[in-house]
Chain A
Amino acid sequence: MVREFQSVIGREVKVQIRAFQSGDPDALVACVGGGSNAIGLFAPFYDHKKVAFYGVEAGGEGLRSGRHSATLCTGRPGVLHGARTYVMQDENGQVLPTHSISAGLDYPAVGPEHAFYKDTGRAVYVAATDKEALAGFKMLNETEGLSAALESSHALGFLPRLAKKMKRSQSVVLGLSGRGDKDMAQLAEGFHEPH
């Protein structure tokens, strides 16, 4: 149901991309916590196999630190809140505490359709750390004058890594799922930390 209603994002992309180019974008990028904005962007392109999907999870203080919310990158299948999907859990099936600089990505499970996309290889899931998210936020401010939400900033933080592997002629659509106005306190704290 979430996918169905969020799919307006991807459907609009299909139409609006025509103002810039004739075909589909080469890649779609979106942050994934529960995964609603990402599935909404991806789903309408599901059958367009040439379009690559990248879901960016919250890497927190790094995947090795244990302080993150990268469910698809580090979890294993389980059942949480009534859905069978990837879950961050210990060897006894206890759900692990999560961390992220963005509250919206701080969730130990993920929408089950992303688990399907991962297992079938339709999408690639990566993690961006808190620091990369801050760098992503800064990049968009400096280049476009837009303040993205800290959630979307994870997708932005991953973008330079992806762009390095792509050709200049290729295009990427990134889902900016929210504004950063709500995150000013977190941002102020984040940018004051030495890094």
Chain B
Amino acid sequence: MNRIDRLFVDLKGQGRKALIAYVTGGYPTLSVMDKAVKDLVRGGADLIEIGVPFSDPIADGPTIQESSQKALDGGITPGALLDWVKRFRKSHETPLVLMTYMNPVVSRGFDRFAREAKTAGVDGVIVPDLIIEEGGPLEESLARQGIHLIYLVAPTTPKSRREQIARRSKGFLYAVSLTGVTGARRALPKDVGAFLADVRRRSPVPVAVGFGISDPAQARHAAAEADGVIVGSALIQRLKNKEPLLPFARSLRHALDRP
């Protein structure tokens, strides 16, 4: 069983929500990122999303864009990140998802990418600039290796299409909370609850909500109508300021678990 599926089954049994933490691969360095991921897991993150830096990250806001560029300037490559996953897997069973863009995957070749990801111990892949109409070949390559391709829906996605996308998404469905790019926001849109409730009603797989979630209160609010929350830019901001991640992860965990 894929680690992502097992996670959501376990959480459902416990009546808990998933805390999904995003870090940019190789930011600020690979060794700092390694420690950050382990702190996040210790602090209660259930699933780790590793951003594979891309030169043109069109779904990302300034915080993650800057971290991607920094990581690329530091010489990070998809190969180096897969090697890191391999090392991480020796000590951790935490589900791992790679968030990348289409071109690095096309460049590597779908089958090679899927094989290497499987060997390293990757459980899922998110490709925000891939639509379901074009996703078939990558889905097949990944499925042959037991890796899930996770699709995204946004508030602007028409309702019937939300359903089509949800049916194609494996592991979970990524619900984008707002119309815009990634990045911490002071407040989430007022109607995020209704949007999530609709998506969740249509989705055969668990729904995780991301984009703009920057503190424990927002995480708790968003989680009310979802199966998990994704926090990214707020973590990158802390890494940039050299602030510790462990207490922040714990506060997010606490906010989600509090009755």
Contact = CB atoms under 8 A, between A and B. Distances in A.
Interface stretch (B32-40, B103-111, B227-235): B103-111
Interface string B49-66: 000001110100000000
Given A79-B102, A80-B56, A81-B58, A92 B129 contact: no
A92 B104 contact: yes
Nearest to B105: A93
Contacts of B56: 80-81, 95
Contacts of B129: 79, 82
A128 to B, nearest CB: 26
Contacts of B103: 78-80, 87, 89, 93, 95
Interface in B86-126: 102-108
B96 to A, nearest CB: 20
B106 A79 contact: yes
Given A79-B129, A82-B129, A93 B58 contact: no
A74 to B, nearest CB: 15
Interface residues of A, number: 15
Interface residues of B, number: 16
A93 B72 contact: no
A87 B56 CA distance: 12
B26 interface: no
B78 interface: yes
Nearest to A91: B107
Interface string A86-113: 0101011111100000000000000000
Contacts of A96: 55
A93 B56 CA distance: 10
A24 to B, nearest CB: 37
Nearest to A96: B55
B77 A93 contact: no
The majority secondary structure among interface residues of chain B is helix
Contacts of A79: 102-103, 106, 129
Interface in A70-85: 77-82, 84
Contact of B77 (A77, A82, A92): A92
Contacts of A94: 54-55, 72, 104
Contacts of A78: 103, 106-107
B144 to A, nearest CB: 21
B82 to A, nearest CB: 12
A94 B58 CA distance: 13
A161 B102 CA distance: 38
Contacts of A80: 56, 103
A87 B102 CA distance: 12
B106 A92 contact: no
Kindly name the residue among B58, B78, B79, B104 whose own CB sees the greatest number of chain A CB atoms within 10 A: B104
Nearest to B76: A92
B78 A92 contact: yes
A1 to B, nearest CB: 17
A93 to B, nearest CB: 3
Contacts of B104: 92-94
Contact of A95 (B55, B78, B79): B55
Nearest to B100: A93
Interface of A: 77-82, 84, 87, 89, 91-96
15 contacts: A78-B103, A78-B107, A79-B102, A80-B56, A80-B103, A81-B56, A81-B58, A92-B104, A92-B107, A93-B78, A93-B106, A93-B107, A94-B54, A94-B104, A96-B55
- For the complex of A and B, the 8 pairs showing the least CB-CB separation, nearest first, are A93-B107, A93-B104, A79-B102, A95-B55, A94-B55, A93-B103, A78-B103, A79-B103
